[in-house]
Structure 1
Amino acid sequence: MTELRLEPAQPYSFERTTRRLLLFEKTFYRYRGGCFYRTLRLGHRPVTVKLDWEAGGVRVRVEEDLSRKERELLERLVRRMLSLNVDLQPFYEQMKKEPRLAPVIRARAGLHFMLDPTLYECLIKTIVSQQLNLSFAGTLIRRLVELAGETLEYGDERLPVFPTPEQVARLEYTDLQKLQFNRRKAEYIIDLSRMIADGRLDLEALERLPDEEVVERLVALRGVGRWTAECLLLFGMGRPNLLPAADIGLRNALKKLYGLAHQPTEAEVRQWGEDWAPWRSYVTFYLWDFLSG
């Protein structure tokens, strides 16, 4: 048994941060007895990781004994996934100057981004989700994982392990078409996985680049548009100053917040967003949460 206790930068709300897992994440996370659990890869080894909140910190448990290297990797992964090192106090101080936004922000104090554990998982899940509703996208993601990945026994369950690029690269387009993927999406997923597997695409290297350069690199790839690139920046990297001004959810949230008779234009959103820098990602995220109730 391995157990870690990780203290976050304050203010931090584990309840608010993980609430979206209960609402929207139906593929990998399970919830039982106050604990979230899912599989993660520590190097080449998949393990089941349990997460809960105890005495002001996140408790992380794995039923197996881990090496020191694996423990360090696990801590880095969980800190990244739960945004434990992100200090939002400067964000809250800045937003006090925004009279319409301030109550929305204050009501969600401690809410942080939940990131996917790897950029590859985030990218593939986002591509699968393009132009689909959440329910069907989750179904296709589950089918992909069942086909290409593996499972781990955990109590009376078998938990999915997200496949590696190498595992997906071995598939043929027709394998995914049989699962109700359309031909183009099957090509995007498998071709990108093959590029990563053979070293032509290094996702981790993108972490060192500024936002717009990441977008430029990604949209040059077949199957990746700006929306997909921005999702990777938000939910894969946790970049704090991204403004997806064309996003319908963000525009609807602003319409609701400001009591507008019309949906604001992309240009209007960008103009308002000038005052939100360098925290535009978090304003967007809090407004999405505001819209979802």
Structure 2
Amino acid sequence: MVHLKLKPKGSYSFSETSRRLTQFEKTAYYQKGDILLRTIRLVERPLLLRLRWMEEALQVETDADLGAEEVQMLERRLRRMFSLDVDLTPFYEWIKQNDPVLYPVVQQRTGLHFVLDADLYECLMKTIIGQQLNLSFAATLINRLVEIAGETLRFDEQTVIPVFPTPEQVARLRYEDLQALQFNRRKAEYIIDISRRIVEGQLDLSRLERFSDDGVIEEMLPLRGVGRWTVECLLLFGLGRPNLLPAADIGLRNAVQSVYGYDIRPGEEEIRQLGERWQPWRSYATFYLWDWLSQG
């Protein structure tokens, strides 16, 4: 058994952060009492993790037998996923000084952090599946993809947790396999074709870590099935970039209209002008406004 105790930097509210996980990430996180269950792949090896917040730290356990290098790799992965090294104190101070309208929204959510997907492939596939779908049906389709292509790990006699499939597992599917699960033809093609590009070495998602935001956009937009919204989600929830402003997002525009008292929903240009006062924390300003909208 491996046990990790991961302390965050700065103010961190696990209750706020995990609230969003259980509300919006039902395909990845499973609640069992005070424990969150999550599967990830570590060097292609599936692991079942038990997560809980104790003693002001994220406590993580797995029954897997890991070597010292693998334990270090797991710790780095989890610190990144849960944004444990992101100190939001400068963000809170910046918003307090520069945006008194947004500050109460931010103050009420002190310690809320992004939780990133386990890897860029999982994030990309989930985002493509979620294009132009409501959250509930998107989650249903994600679960169906996992069931047909992935595998499972057992927590107890009653609880079996799925593991998100690898590109190799998805690449073996036929378009018709996904169509039979209520994926439309084009989305089935996007998911399988991108997975095959990865398997064949034509697309290396790990390279994106080294790219600027604009570089990621330039690299990904030529892919069939990948638009601006998809890349922005990848930057936010896959790469954790702190200064992204998805100005076209309807949810953000609705939240801004309500919080700032606009008579009509603002357009992209108005959002970009407003977002100037959030630099260099536009991703977190957006994230807190999304959360405010979901709680309204």
Q: TM-score range by the shorter chain?
A: over 0.9
Deviations 1:195-226 (A, max 9, x none): 11111101110111110111111111100000
Instruction: Normalising by structure 2, report the TM-score.
Output: 0.97
Measured in 1, the distance between the counterparts of 2:39 and 2:290 equals 27
- The equivalences for 1:146-225 within 5 A come to 146-156=147-157, 157-225=159-227
**1:20 equivalent in structure 2:** 20
The offset of 1:80, in angstroms, is: 1.0
**1:88 equivalent in structure 2:** 88
Between 34-43 and 225-234, the greater mean CA deviation after superposition: 34-43
The offset of 1:24, in angstroms, is: 1.2
How many correspondences in the alignment?
293
Measured in 2, the distance between the counterparts of 1:168 and 1:125 equals 13
Deviations 1:114-137 (A, max 9, x none): 100100000000000101111111
Over the aligned positions, Cα root-mean-square deviation in angstroms equals: 0.9
Measured in 2, the distance between the counterparts of 1:260 and 1:181 equals 38
1:77 aligns with 2:38: no
The offset of 1:190, in angstroms, is: 0.4
**1:105 equivalent in structure 2:** 106
**2:60 equivalent in structure 1:** 60
1:239 aligns with 2:241: yes
Equivalent position SS for 1:181:
coil
Instruction: Normalising by structure 1, report the TM-score.
Output: 0.98
**1:136 equivalent in structure 2:** 137
Measured in 2, the distance between the counterparts of 1:135 and 1:113 equals 20
1:266 aligns with 2:268: yes
**2:11 equivalent in structure 1:** 11
- Report if the CA contact (8 A) 1:3-1:60 is conserved: yes
**Identity of counterpart residues, as a percentage?**
61
Equivalent position SS for 1:290:
helix
**1:41 equivalent in structure 2:** 41
AA partner of residue 294 (structure 2): S
Measured in 2, the distance between the counterparts of 1:262 and 1:91 equals 28
Measured in 2, the distance between the counterparts of 1:64 and 1:24 equals 28
The offset of 1:4, in angstroms, is: 0.4
AA partner of residue 246 (structure 1): A
- The equivalences for 1:105-124 within 5 A come to 105-124=106-125
